[in-house]
Amino acid sequence: MADRVDSDLRVTPHVVLPGAELGWRFSRSGGPGGQGVNTTDSRVELVVDLRSVGGLTDWQRERVQRRLGSRLVDGVLVIAASETRSQLRNREAARRRLQVLLSDALAPDAPNRRPTRPTRGSQRRRVDEKVARGRTKKLRGRPAE
């Protein structure tokens, strides 16, 4: 079971991060935990130095750093997980988050939106609906004497 969290991380079919280059830090987690809350280090931080991690080409590395720039501190990405009371499950959650984060950062840009204009019929229907709504509201006034 420990080999799952220490093995290489497949981000995309063509990008694999070596497991040896993933750094782990452990600390005590806040929240509920029963008797073991003060004795187990279940909170996990996954640390990845994106400037030197293997498995990324220079182009991919630059793209990831550009897209995740607000989350990086000196090129280092830190992902924390403390949802469960189990360190192993928190390690797996941190790996999944890193995988999703990097695959999203490596994904191609969305195609540019082609601007369109509303059709003449839709413009006419919109104005007719506004006029009808105005009439309805006008009828809500006090009755004339």
Domain positions in the chain:
2-106
Question: Is 2-106 CATH 3.60.70.12?
Answer: no
- pLDDT score of 6 more than 80: no
pLDDT (tens digit, 9 = 90+) per residue, 12-60?
888 888 888 888 988 887 766 666 666 778 889 999 998 888 888 899 9
pTM for the model stands at: 0.71
Give yes or no for residue 9 having a pLDDT over 90.
no
pLDDT, tens digit, for every residue of 50-107?
888 888 889 998 999 999 988 889 889 999 998 888 889 999 999 999 999 999 999 9
Predicted confidence at residue 80, as pLDDT, reads: 92
Strands 43-49 and 76-81: antiparallel
For 81, counting Cβ atoms within 10 Å of its Cβ (0-12 exposed, 13-18 middle, 19+ buried), the class is buried
Burial class (CB within 10 angstroms; exposed 0-12, middle 13-18, buried 19+) of 89? middle
To 10 degrees, the CA torsion angle through 79, 84, 88, 94? -20
